A and B are shown apart, each in its own frame.
Chain A
């Protein structure tokens, strides 16, 4: 008599470890055709919409003209000593100085129609009259007192208060080798050091002299207000010591195509008046410069984000719809681990695909934007990596947020709608709705997960450059990683709630 042994699996007995769970979720993800299509849409939509937007972005910079109108012209921006795009447009009354020397001047007035807070007049030591060359300057400003500024991005405060005939300001720059030191004084005998800088590679012969410049007005509707903006500095006691060559020359540095700049200088006795427009500052794009920040190469991200959200949601809700969730939870009863495995697998896959999408989008759109006349702000490899990998991480966070909402709602439509309303709509409203005040826009981009797009900000907000710093120009209220942390908090909170609910519910 023979006994029939019951069937036993030949597979060795093993714990249902987390690695097996990850493997199971990965198998599901890669074998459902609809999910694969959705995943591929992430890079495709990002690149496609990015390319579409770049193709429709011709650069036509509006240059301020003397009559207060704006004149459209091609975009151009020089590159400063720090490697970034700069504005180098001002009126320069200059002499050549060879070797060490000192320039001193007393400024008795800064005037102009609708004088801007950052209207400037003062003295400068500049490597050459080529736009973008190194410089150090001592300036009086419309509303920020005396400043020492150098190489476009640096700014240090000197004496406070507005200059006038009764409160004149004495300014001095001392050049020794590559080092320039700035001093200010109220009386011409007691000097205070404001700042000291080393201008790398300063040639032996430099240009020293007087400058005047003013940026155009900013603020809501500023461009619509056609006001003539110039700034005029009145100087006396102008003195240059050292090996000075030639007489005083005037030059409108930078350019204003078709504008017919109002700049100029007059020499009267021992004094000068210098009038100019423009600015000598970093180029921060829209409104304050002609350059285009690299952030604009990732304008297509919003479309890919929606795809990531949808895939994240249906990765969970499809299991409910098909009843697969019962099998999943039978095979792996740890419910928290199932959600974690889903979030990790989808997060990693989304990150990789989005990284590819962004890594294609940035150079492709840079090329498209350039071919449409835009001047791109160069970025370091590290910054490039930060915005590409950071954007990919935002995609991963959004997809994981979708997973959590899918598990919370168990219904696709409500989950997708909630995720989009929370992530994409606040960003849309903050960036493009004229009805929202700046305060509300700012808060939306602080508390909603779309704060994470701050990871794409490359140009810092410069206190010495007046601009609206709008989110649509790539400026966010939070620092890049702080913004990303907001998304992480939302995603972690939603995942926690999902696990909590899943544990308490019947499937």
Chain B
């Protein structure tokens, strides 16, 4: 397994795109967070907003780049034919996927931490001046650390999807649809029961519950159970990906 990890780590760090994508995760997360944080103005009565959610809004964009990073980790191997060499060198396909998942999760969590901390810091600096208190308590710590974990789980979910779909453009389209479809449908339906259930089962809506620090009782799902739902999606997609990787030919017949 350690050889597999080493091999995947070598691939990840020598592919030119990786460093740019990681930088993209950090830049997009921090800049959208800064924009939203700076533009939030609350009156004396407060505006019912969650300071953690406001300062960490950048995750909505950052996760899209995380998904690209994860999708490319596997689909690039298919598009270049590298997968044949990888599987020749490491015939245990589950090991390959596990090593990829571990390296990817490590990279994402590291970049996520670098992205989330400045966002939280900006919230702490700017939001109290705009009428929104920013307490540094357990709930805030949970929101900040949980957002990093959220990005890691999004990477695993995307890796699983890409292992099944293989074609990178389709995989990323599928992942982003899966993430955004639940909150959009929940927003438009007026039936409150539907709304609550959609937000409870959607990977993004449930996972983002980890950012809740106020009005926890009125949220559709609690912070940790919410992250658990996302973890279940990620586990399910990796499981399906691993199964397909085992069952299928490494490369479909190609038309040259």
Contact = CB atoms under 8 A, between A and B. Distances in A.
Interface of A: 34, 38, 49, 52-53, 56-60, 220-221, 296, 299, 302-303, 306-307, 309-310, 313-314, 317, 321-323, 406, 411-417, 420-421, 424-425, 428-429, 431-437, 439-440, 472
Contacts of A49: 181, 185
B174 to A, nearest CB: 9
Interface string B73-115: 0010001000000000000000000000000000000000000
Interface of B: 17, 28, 35-36, 39-41, 47-50, 53-54, 57, 60-61, 64-65, 67-68, 71-72, 75, 79, 167-173, 176-177, 180-181, 183-185, 187-191, 194, 255-256
Contacts of A434: 49, 53
A221 B48 contact: yes
A417 B187 contact: no
A425 B180 contact: yes
Most A C-beta atoms less than 10 A away, residue of B71, B168, B189, B191 = B168
Main secondary structure of the interface of B (DSSP, over half): helix
- The 5 A-B pairs of least Cβ separation, nearest first, read A412-B169, A56-B189, A310-B173, A413-B168, A432-B187
24 contacts: A34-B167, A49-B181, A52-B185, A53-B189, A56-B185, A56-B194, A221-B47, A302-B184, A314-B170, A323-B256, A411-B72, A412-B168, A413-B71, A413-B75, A414-B17, A417-B68, A424-B180, A428-B184, A432-B184, A433-B60, A435-B40, A440-B35, A440-B36, A472-B188
Contact of B185 (A53, A306, A433): A53
A436 B177 CA distance: 21
Nearest to A412: B169
Contacts of A414: 17, 68
B187 A472 contact: yes
Given A53-B185, A221-B48, A435-B57, 6 more contacts: A38-B170, A52-B185, A58-B191, A302-B184, A303-B177, A436-B39
B185 A437 contact: no
B157 to A, nearest CB: 15
Contacts of A296: 188
A424 B172 CA distance: 14
Contacts of A317: 169
B36 A425 contact: no
B98 to A, nearest CB: 22
A9 B219 CA distance: 72
Nearest to A433: B57
Contact of A417 (B49, B67, B170): B67
Nearest to B193: A56
B220 to A, nearest CB: 14
Given A411-B168, A437-B40, A417 B255 contact: no
Nearest to B168: A413
A41 B194 CA distance: 25
Contacts of A437: 36, 39-41
Nearest to B162: A413
A135 B194 CA distance: 41
A310 B169 contact: yes
A433 B60 CA distance: 10
